[in-house]
Structure 1
Amino acid sequence: MQDVYQPSDYSEAGLPEDPRGDPLLALRNVTRSYDQADNQLIVLDGVDLSVYAGEMVALVAPSGAGKSTLLHVAGLLERPNDGEVYIAGQAQSNAADRSRTLTRRNEIGFVYQFHHLLAEFSAVENVVLPQLIHGEKMPEAHSRAIELLSYMKVDHRGSHRPAELSGGEQQRVAIARAMANAPRVLLADEPTGNLDPTTSEYVFKALNALVKQSGIAALVATHNLFLAERMDRQITLVDGKIVEL
């Protein structure tokens, strides 16, 4: 059985209890290192991080600081060497691979710099497919896909394939797809990195509204300082540790 995150874990980690309740995403004393030749490269060194429902946290750091590693550990794509990752209160670091896969599929949404939409499927079909894999029936999956695309203001492009969409439309469809199975946590890696400033602004506003409306916890890695400053908090990585900006 998986361990469940308890309020006492705050004090054990040297952190005060938060009036917002338990975080949907929590990293506690997480360490991640890699063996390199005769030495060990420490990328994350005792990281503590909490992201709460309805909160968007900007992760701003230079290339090579460990942003991708942090997202991979938080998204259960890599296991930490030490420490614990909690998703919606459930401990994940020592969970079985099958359990972590189900948590990743059901509780975590991913948005990347490149949309990674399936080229042979329409926008609607790209949002329907993860729901079918999740076990949803086609009528309900199609209805939710239309609802999400409408929220992202791209429902009128639902029958179009990715190659027929603009960059901003592709990314909004990708966000809709990430939200298809109603995750509790959203992890985004440079979601506006390939977009012009006007389109970046539009995508950011749509993403921010979705986070607030749905009550998910979002961790967004970005180099765009203008957008980062408009998120709820900004953090960076310094010598493998989280620092609030």
Structure 2
Amino acid sequence: MIDERGGSFAALRSMPGMSRRTGSADAGIGDRPRAFDAMRHRPSRRRNSKGSETSRRSSHMPSTFTKKLATVAQEQHRKFSLFRENQNPLSAQIRLYWTELGLSFPGVGTAWSAVFVSWCMKQAGATKHQFGFSARHGDFIHAAIANAQAGQGVFLGRRVAQYAPKVGDLLHNNRSGNSFDFDFAATHRKYESHSAIVVEVGTDNRGRYLWTIGGNEGDSVGIKEVRLTSTGLVKNPGGLYISIVETTL
């Protein structure tokens, strides 16, 4: 099926502000490499005054909930990123993403990235009253923006240009060549978009970055790198990114 970020996986890799999926891994399937394990534990590096490499990760301390959310997403990537949506065991797991949220399973040909995010949220301990589980990104994004505007709730919609994301947040972007913005998302629910879970924020020799894990990326569970400004804001060429959902649980 077509990737939910708006095209084939090859086209997605060339999107501004996003890099090629940096690896895939599994959980004990034969002798396949655990590439994400290596990435997840690989230190972010910078040069010190003597020219040697040192490591630096985000100083923000994740909460118990956000650590669990990141771990859930990482486990899904490790287990299923070597498979495509029409292959078992991923196709069977996609069915669970739907049914364990109380939703009817329409088949793997239906976009499933929003149910992936919703399922991960539920597995980490969020309730349907805290996070509106949905098959549409626009539903829970709209709710998060409304929460922020009302000063309530634990998932808060933030503007990309004003908020530096952290582990456990959601990064929300356009797809299919659309150019929706935060104000549009604040007043609409039904439109094409994509979101993924931030699982790491850090600094390397090219500057600051984050990694996200999302469903229905390249017809699988994918990982992406997004570059940040020196102050930790998401670089947003051409308005690719719509909003960020801050997780305060």
Q: Normalization by structure 2: what TM-score?
A: 0.29
Q: Which one has a larger percent helix, Structure 1 or Structure 2?
A: 1
